[in-house]
Structure 1
Amino acid sequence: MTEASTETTAEYTYDEHAFSCNKTDIQEFGKIFLPIFYIAVFALGLAGNLMVVLAIVKEGRKKSITDIYLLNLAISDLLFVVSLPFWASNTVRGWTLGTIPCTAVSSLYYIGFFGGMFFITVISIDRYSAIVRATYSLKSRTVKHGLLVTCGVWATAVLVSVPHFVFSRLVESDCTSAFPRELENIWPVFCNVELNAVGFFIPVCIICYCYCGIVKTLLLCKNQKKARAIRLVLVVVVVFLLFWSPYNVLIFLETLKRFELFTSCNQIKSLDYAMHLTETIAFSHCCLNPLIYAFAGEKFRRYLHHICLRYCPFLCFCGPCSRYRVSHSASYAESIVISNITVNTSDQDGSVFV
C-alpha cells in the first residue's frame, strides 16, 4: 500500500504535496468506483478460486505436483480477494475495525498478491520442466519437491510482504501506513521499487523465458493439436502482460512523483485517475487465473460439469448426466499442463502427449 495522507485504496494512496491541488473530484470518484469494483472482483474471484480448491481437494487420488501448485495459486488469490471488501468499506466510510485488523488485512492483501505472482511463475517453470526438460522432470517433478517449493514460495511471499504492511496503522479513521520520521522518504520508494522488481519484472522475465522455450519445443513436436497449445501459451503471456504492465508503469510513475518530477496539478490528477483504471485491470487478473490455469483442462471442465449436474439437476438439458462422469484415472489438474497436453509423470520416457 503506497503511503500518504488523505485517502487510501487497497494499493494506492493520494499523496498530497506542499502545494494546493484540489482532489475532491478524484476522491468522490474513488468512493463510487472502487467499492463497486472491489466487490465485483471479490465475488468473481471467490467463486472461481473456491471451485478450483474444491475440485482439487475433492479428487480422491494422490495429488500431483501440478495439483499442489494450482491449489496454492487459488489459495493466494483467495487471500487477496478476501481483503477487498475491507478496502471497499475503508474507501466509503473509513476504517472502523481498529489497528490490529488493519495490519492483518494488509498482510493478507500483500501475501496473497505476492503469493499469486510467485505461484504463476512457479507454474511456468513447472510447465517448462515438464515439456522442454521432460527427461529431467521425471526426477524433479515429485510431490515432495512440490511441497518444498510451495513452502519456499510462501516463506518468500511473507518476507517480501513485510515491508508493505509492517507499518500499517489506523490514522484518522483510515487504514494506512505511518512511517517513522527517518523512513518516511526512503521506505515508500523502497516498497514501490520492490513491487516493480520482485512483484513484476523478475516474474515476467522468468515467465517469458519459460513459455518461449515451450513454444520452441511445441513447434518441433509432430502433433496435430500443437497449434491449440501454442495459442494457449500466447494467451497466458499476453493476458499477464496486458493486465499487469500498465499498473506497474503507474507504480513507477508514482515513485517518480515522489521526486517531484510531476509538479502540475493536472498531471498529478491524471496519474490518480490512471492509477484507478490500471488497478482495476490488474486486480481483475485473479478472477482469470482459474480460467487460464484450471478451466482449460478437459478433465477439470468435466469435473465441474459433474458437480453442477449432481447438485443442480435442472441444468441437465444437454443429454444424460452420465456423459459427464469423470474418470479418476489421472489427476484433474495434471491434465492441463498445456491445454490438454498432459505430462505422464509415470511414463518411463517422460514423453509429452495429447
Structure 2
Amino acid sequence: MVCDRDSGTGWPIDTSEVPFPGPAQAFTMPTYSPESILEYFEYDESAEACDLGDIVAIGTVFLSILYSLVFAFGLLGNLLVVFALTNSQKPKSITDIYLLNLALSDLLFVATLPFWTHYLMSEQGFHNAVCKLTTAFFFIGFFGGIFFITVISIDRYLAIVLAANSMNNRTVQHGVTISLGVWAAAILVATPQFMFTKQKANECLGDYPEVLQELWPVLRNVEANLLGFLLPLLIMSYCYFRIMRTLFSCKNHKKAKAIKLIFLVVIVFFLFWTPYNIMIFLETLNLYDFFPNCDMKRDLRLALSVTETIAFTHCCLNPFIYAFAGEKFRRYLYHLYRKCLAVLCGHPVHVSFSRTESQTSRRESILSSNFTHHTSDGDGSILL
C-alpha cells in the first residue's frame, strides 16, 4: 500500500481509494480530478479489487445536480431575508440581527457550491487561491450557520423563560456584539478544517505535515461531530424544552402555533443533520479499518454523499423556518411583488389592505401584546 494525503481529512489513504470529489470530502473524503478518478481501485486485505468507479460516476452527476438546486434555492431565500431586513424602515430588534447574520452565513455557504460543482465537472481543478478561499468560505459558512441557529435558540430562551432577567440585555447593540463573537468563533473553529488546503496536481487537497497525517483527520471529524452537531443540538433541545414548558403555562391561543414552530426547528435540524454526522463518525471508524469489506465501503461512500446533500439543503430551509413563517415577512414579499409588477407594467401599483385584514392584524397585535405580557418578548422582529 502506498499512502497519500487527501483534501478533506489529510489522513493516510491507499492511493487506490476512490471517494467522491467536491464538498463531500469536506470532513471525511479526499478529492481527485474526474479524469483520474476512475483509474483507481481500492484493495482489501485479501488483495481483491474493490472497484468504486461506478459509485463515483453516479455521485458526480448526483451531486452536481443537487448542489445546483441547493445553490439556487438557498441564494434566493436568504437574499430575500437580507433585503427584507436591510430595506425595512422599522426599528431593528436583536432577533433581526441574528436572522440577518444567519442568512449571511448561509449565503457564504451556498456561494461555494457553484465552485464545487465546477470542480466536479472540470478536469483542470482550481487555482491555488480559489482552492483555499472556497474551502475556507465553505467551512466558515457551515459553522457560522450552525452557531447562529444555536444563538437564536438561546435568545428565544432568554426572551421567554428568563424574560425579567434578560430584558435589559437583549438590545441591538448586544446582538451586534454577540454576532461578531459568533463570526470569530466560526472562523476559529473552521481554521483547522482548511488551514493546510492547497492546489496540487489539479486537485484541491490538504497537504499535511507528516506528523499530523494520522491524528489530524480524527480531530477534524470529532470537531465536526461535537461542535457542528452534538453540542448545538443539546443546547437547542434544552432551550426549546424550557420554552415549551413556559408556553404551556401561558393562557394564549397562539401558544399552539408557537409550540409547532419550536418542534419544527428542532426536528428539522435533527432530521437533516443526524444522518450526515453519523456517516462522518462511521468514516472516522473507517480510518481504523472497521469496514474491510468492499460492499460496506461502497455503501459508505454512497451514503456519505447522499446524507451530505440532505444536510446541505438545511440552509435553504432556514428562511422558511425563521422568517417565511412570519406574517410580516409574507407581507413584505407581497409588497415586493407589487413593486416588481409596477416596474414591469410601467405604472404605479397601490397596495392596500382590506378592512378584514386590518382587523385581523390589529387583533393579532393585541394577542401578541397579551403574549408579551406573559413573556416580555416584545422585540418586534421585522420578519416574525
Q: TM-score, normalized by length of structure 1? A: 0.88
Q: Secondary structure at the match of 1:185?
A: coil
Q: Secondary structure at the match of 2:70?
A: helix
Equivalent residues in 2 for 1:104-183 (5 A)? 104-183=133-212
Give the distance between the partners of 1:193 and 1:170, measured in 2 at CA: 25
Give the distance between the partners of 2:370 and 2:235, measured in 1 at CA: 21
Are 1:343 and 1:352, in contact at CA under 8 Å, matched by a contact in 2? Answer: no
CA spacing shift, 1:21–1:349, aligned 2, 3 Å: closer
Are 1:95 and 1:175, in contact at CA under 8 Å, matched by a contact in 2? Answer: no
Are 1:341 and 1:353, in contact at CA under 8 Å, matched by a contact in 2? Answer: no
Give the distance between the partners of 1:47 and 1:53, measured in 2 at CA: 10
Give the distance between the partners of 2:295 and 2:272, measured in 1 at CA: 25
Q: Secondary structure at the match of 1:321?
A: coil
1:322 maps to amino acid: S
Equivalent residues in 2 for 1:53-68 (5 A)? 53-68=82-97
Using the TM superposition, give the Cα deviation of residue 149 of structure 1 relative to its aligned residue in structure 2, in angstroms: 0.6
The root-mean-square deviation of aligned C-alpha atoms, in Å, is 2.7
Are 1:8 and 1:176, in contact at CA under 8 Å, matched by a contact in 2? Answer: no
Question: Which residue is 1:327 aligned to?
Answer: none
Equivalent residues in 2 for 1:36-51 (5 A)? 36-51=65-80
48-57 vs 165-174, which deviates more?
165-174
Using the TM superposition, give the Cα deviation of residue 14 of structure 1 relative to its aligned residue in structure 2, in angstroms: 4.9
CA spacing shift, 1:349–1:301, aligned 2, 3 Å: closer
Give the distance between the partners of 2:160 and 2:82, measured in 1 at CA: 25
Q: Which has the greater radius of gyration?
A: 2
Are 2:276 and 2:311, in contact at CA under 8 Å, matched by a contact in 1? Answer: yes
CA spacing shift, 1:123–1:159, aligned 2, 3 Å: same
Are 1:94 and 1:174, in contact at CA under 8 Å, matched by a contact in 2? Answer: no
Are 2:125 and 2:202, in contact at CA under 8 Å, matched by a contact in 1? Answer: yes
Are 2:85 and 2:96, in contact at CA under 8 Å, matched by a contact in 1? Answer: yes
Q: TM-score, normalized by length of structure 2? A: 0.82
Are 2:9 and 2:216, in contact at CA under 8 Å, matched by a contact in 1? Answer: no
CA spacing shift, 1:353–1:24, aligned 2, 3 Å: closer
Residue number among 243, 250, 253 corresponding to 1:221 in the alignment:
250
Are 2:164 and 2:376, in contact at CA under 8 Å, matched by a contact in 1? Answer: yes
Give the distance between the partners of 2:138 and 2:30, measured in 1 at CA: 19
Give the distance between the partners of 2:370 and 2:205, measured in 1 at CA: 46
Equivalent residues in 2 for 1:174-213 (5 A)? 174-213=203-242
1:295 maps to amino acid: F
CA spacing shift, 1:255–1:23, aligned 2, 3 Å: same
Q: Secondary structure at the match of 1:223?
A: coil
User: Within the alignment, does 1:321 sit opposite 2:334 as a pair?
Assistant: no
Identity within the alignment, %: 47
Question: Which residue is 1:272 aligned to?
Answer: 301
User: Within the alignment, does 1:261 sit opposite 2:290 as a pair?
Assistant: yes
Unaligned runs of 5+ in 2: 1-7, 32-40, 355-363
Using the TM superposition, give the Cα deviation of residue 36 of structure 1 relative to its aligned residue in structure 2, in angstroms: 0.5
Give the distance between the partners of 2:153 and 2:334, measured in 1 at CA: 27
Figure out how many residues of one structure are paired with residues of the other and give that number: 337
User: Within the alignment, does 1:286 sit opposite 2:315 as a pair?
Assistant: yes
Residue number among 11, 18, 22 corresponding to 1:9 in the alignment:
22
Unaligned runs of 5+ in 1: 325-334
User: Within the alignment, does 1:350 sit opposite 2:358 as a pair?
Assistant: no
